[in-house]
Chain A
Amino acid sequence: MNKKILIAEDDQFLSKMYQKKFELSGFEVMVVANGEEAVQKMTEWKPNMVVMDVMMPKLSGFEALKNAKAITTIKNIPIVILTNLGNPEDKEKAMELGAKDYLVKSDLTPQEVVDKVAKLIK
């Protein structure tokens, strides 16, 4: 059974790109465009891993992360933050909120992202 990856990304190009890469790597992928939807899908779809952008409409990635961690049924689903915010404080904040990892999009190719996530999901 394929591992389920929920991608929360509001940029169309990037969501398409990551979706394709993850699918090519053998994951089952669902894409949402905001944090609110992400939390909702987490409770419904129960993915094995969430790849979450930060700057998103309605609910930011951080808020979604915070909310998800407050819901007992989904609080154990690992969330990797994948963002273009490269500040150390952002990373610190994400880790404090319980993110599994913090990846900076522009530093990595899609392949590298998939490799890191795959490593974490095991």
Chain B
Amino acid sequence: MNILPILILAGQTLFLWSLVFVFYRAKNRLTLVPLYGLIAIMTLAMHNLSDLGFAVVVGNFYLLISSVSFFTTLMLAIMILYLFEGPRALRTALIVVLFVSLQYILLVFLLGHEVNTTNWVIITTERLRYYFWSVLAIVIDLIFMSVFWELLAKFHKVPLFIRVFLVILGTYFLDTFIFVSGVFGFQSNYGEILVADLTVRLILALSATPIISFYVRTEGYREDTRRKPKTIWEIFNFRSDLESKIQTMEQILKYERNLEDELKKTQETYQLALEGAGAGIWDWDIVNDSVKLSVRYAELLGYKPEELPTKIAGVRGMIHPDDKDKAVSLSKNWTVGNKTFLGEYRIKTKNGSYRWFRNSGIFKFGGNGQPVRMVGSIIDIDENRHLLEETQQKSEELNKFHLAVEAATDQIVIADAEGMVVYANPTMEKITGYTREEALGKKAGTLWGKQMSLEYYQNMWDVIKNKKKTFVSEITNRRKDGVKYQAMINISPILDDEGKVRFYVAIERDVSKEKQLEKMKDEFLNMASHELRTPMTAIKGFISMILGGDYGKVDKNFEEPLTNIMMATNRLIDLVNDLLSVSRMQAGRLKVQLKSVQIGSVTKGLIDLLEPIAKDKQIKLKIIDGRGAKVQADEELLRQIINNLVGNALKFTEKGGNVTLKIKKDGDMCIGEVEDTGVGIAKEDVDKLFGRFQQIASQGGGKPVGTGLGLYISRELVRTMGGELWLVKSELGEGSIFAFSLPLAGTEKAKKLVRQMAMEEKKKKEEARDEIKIS
């Protein structure tokens, strides 16, 4: 078997393939049309050479190897080009094929019917016929190939390998059929030639398919992004190229327009959003020093847009002098990394007042790296700012309160509406001995309380919880170590807007020491008065005995001075008694036993005491006792009061005057009026009347007699018993009327007083008991 034609065929195929490959690779650097042209010319040239010289005879069959090599290479090259480049590549190939074919036909006619250029190249009309059919076959093949590929492309799911194989095989078969039919159709062995040729093509298709498939895959062919003709017609329609170009251009233009619109819209959106949020926009062209301020910017400051400055100096001129440096430095404070800035400062509004604004902006940089433009927005934060300041102030105040409460020497405890301790200051630890941790979350009463009677606590809760009032009281509590202590407590409910108790504040002061001091003072006073009274008793006693003649007859000359000593001594004793009374009253140790007392019986008892004095001064003492009016009072104290008032009246009334005590009823109260025709009280002295140690010096020019405590004590006593003592009227030289009131026995007011007194009494007793226990 002659091996030479096969070797030539292999070299030829290899060469063509490498050409296709090299040119295809370089397509990005060369225009495609010359590439296609070159391929076409080279393949056609080879086709000529081969077809003129080679045919392999196997038995009785002619195998048209050279034409096969031509078709194989060309068609596969065009197929690849088509796959990657689309219809344009196909059309170019067709034109090249037709052009070269025309050139060849022209050459044949010029050279005559038979051109014998070499020994084995013979151009005959027979060859020309071959040529016609092969060109026709190529044209039809190419059309078929592209259409068939597009049809198969619809079946994406069929693997690429199979689709490539089907297209190649289909194209080969069609080509063979056309060519063999056209050239050998009239020969008797046509059938044999066709079958042999088809067999060869099948083998070629099978061997080419893996190569093509691999090539297409590795070149990144993608079915979905490939430029596809919309219709079959488009593959051959030259105008579609132009249209698609125009369309593409239009699309690009449209896209750009849209992009511009979008951009503009976005800008508008941002501006709207900013202004909608109350922001005023500014835009400073630094290079040309031109500032643009938005309408909203003007509105924020109360201006019309045209009233605003257009240069940066003007804009900065509106900033508060104190903030200006800070604001200006912000606009210079840029770095490459930080393009934005944020500042808060005051800007002057049209009405002259300043408001706080937050200004945030961004720098735009020019080619030289310097900012050329700044854009930003301002928001009115005046209210926020004031609110913030207020909050800061408040929290500072709160902090002060907290510090004050923590440092307070009084115990301060805050309990919630259920009475659970939620706060206690450090003094609580000192006074009660409990730590704060121990006290928190517990009821104060269960810690240091429980020392008073049940009624006491019931009353306390009634006051603070139900009546929602402050409860003030002295109380006995117990330290953690068991030691009792006296305290003044003050519990206030703190109410919410609806009047419900939010929490309680209890302030407690340990008064044990004060109590002790008070007790000591009391004892001291008791002792002092006792010690003072003893010598005075001796003086008084001896003088009275001397005057009574117990030591023999008294010389008349001594009677007056002795009487004066006696009176002076009595005054001293009165003073000591009154001082003691005052101190006892102030210490709250006055003993009051309220009973129903008939005033008449008290006055009757007093007559014996007062009548002699009246007689001495020839004063007419009249008592109108109000038909057995009964008051609720302590009999002893009532006696003291009436004695004092009537005694005073007698004291300050000249000889021959009148003193009248008149008892009358007035509603719930009993009124006692003491009227005299004495010296009277000057208006300027009225205010001093009930003060301590106040004596009215000007009375009748005479020396005041008495301690100056009488009215003060009497008034305090009356008040203790739920009444009042006052001066009704007084005229200098004409006399005065004093009056006191006390609740009538059995009235509601009287009963209430009794209850109140009983409670206080009980408390005192409890205290006294505690004191005994402690001592």
Contact = CB atoms under 8 A, between A and B. Distances in A.
Interface of A: 11, 13-14, 17-18, 20-21, 24, 55, 83-89, 92, 105-107, 109-111
A87 B577 CA distance: 10
10 contacts: A11-B538, A13-B542, A17-B542, A20-B545, A20-B550, A55-B530, A83-B530, A84-B529, A106-B540, A109-B544
A84 B534 CA distance: 7
B591 interface: yes
Contacts of B577: 86, 106
A86 B581 CA distance: 10
A85 B523 CA distance: 11
A103 to B, nearest CB: 11
Contacts of B636: 88
Given A107-B573, A111-B548, A85 B530 contact: yes
B248 interface: no
A-B pairs, top 7 by smallest CB distance, nearest first, are A84-B533, A109-B544, A106-B533, A13-B538, A105-B537, A88-B591, A106-B573
B526 A85 contact: yes
A110 B580 contact: no
B330 interface: no
A86 B636 CA distance: 13
A89 B542 CA distance: 29
Contact of B541 (A14, A87, A89): A14
A110 B584 CA distance: 28
Contacts of A106: 533, 536-537, 540, 573, 576-577
Interface in B539-565: 540-542, 544-545, 548, 550
Contact of B537 (A20, A84, A89, A92): A84
Interface string B141-165: 0000000000000000000000000
A89 B593 CA distance: 12
A28 to B, nearest CB: 18
A92 B526 CA distance: 16
A89 B768 CA distance: 12
B545 A17 contact: yes
A83 B526 CA distance: 12
A20 to B, nearest CB: 7
A111 B534 contact: no
A106 B576 CA distance: 10
B589 to A, nearest CB: 8
Given A14-B534, A21-B545, 18 more contacts: A13-B535, A18-B541, A20-B545, A84-B533, A85-B530, A86-B580, A87-B580, A87-B584, A88-B591, A92-B591, A105-B533, A105-B534, A105-B537, A106-B537, A106-B576, A109-B540, A109-B548, A111-B545
Contacts of A92: 591
Contacts of A24: 550
A94 to B, nearest CB: 14
B541 A109 contact: yes
B549 to A, nearest CB: 10
Interface of B: 526, 529-530, 533-538, 540-542, 544-545, 548, 550, 573, 576-577, 580, 584, 591, 636
Given A55-B530, A88-B591, A105-B534, A21 B540 contact: no
B417 to A, nearest CB: 43
A20 B541 CA distance: 11
A81 to B, nearest CB: 13
Contact of A87 (B526, B537, B544, B550): B526
A14 B577 CA distance: 20
B598 to A, nearest CB: 21
A84 B544 CA distance: 18
Contacts of B535: 13
A93 B411 CA distance: 38
Contacts of A18: 541
Contacts of B534: 11, 14, 84, 105
Contacts of A87: 526, 580, 584
A14 B539 CA distance: 9
B543 to A, nearest CB: 9
Nearest to A89: B591
B242 to A, nearest CB: 131
B594 to A, nearest CB: 14
Contacts of A17: 538, 541-542, 545
A18 B544 CA distance: 12
Nearest to A55: B530
Nearest to B569: A106
B734 to A, nearest CB: 35
A14 B591 contact: no
Contacts of B550: 20-21, 24
A25 B472 CA distance: 58
A14 B530 contact: no
A111 B549 CA distance: 11
A18 B533 CA distance: 15
Nearest to B636: A88
A18 to B, nearest CB: 8
Contacts of B584: 87
Nearest to A11: B534
A109 to B, nearest CB: 4
Contacts of B540: 106, 109
A48 B193 CA distance: 182
Contacts of B538: 11, 13-14, 17
Nearest to A17: B541
A87 B529 CA distance: 11
Contacts of B537: 14, 84, 105-106
A110 B591 contact: no
Contacts of A107: 573
A47 to B, nearest CB: 21
A89 B590 CA distance: 10
Contacts of B541: 14, 17-18, 21, 109-110
B248 to A, nearest CB: 121
A105 B529 CA distance: 12
Contacts of A55: 530
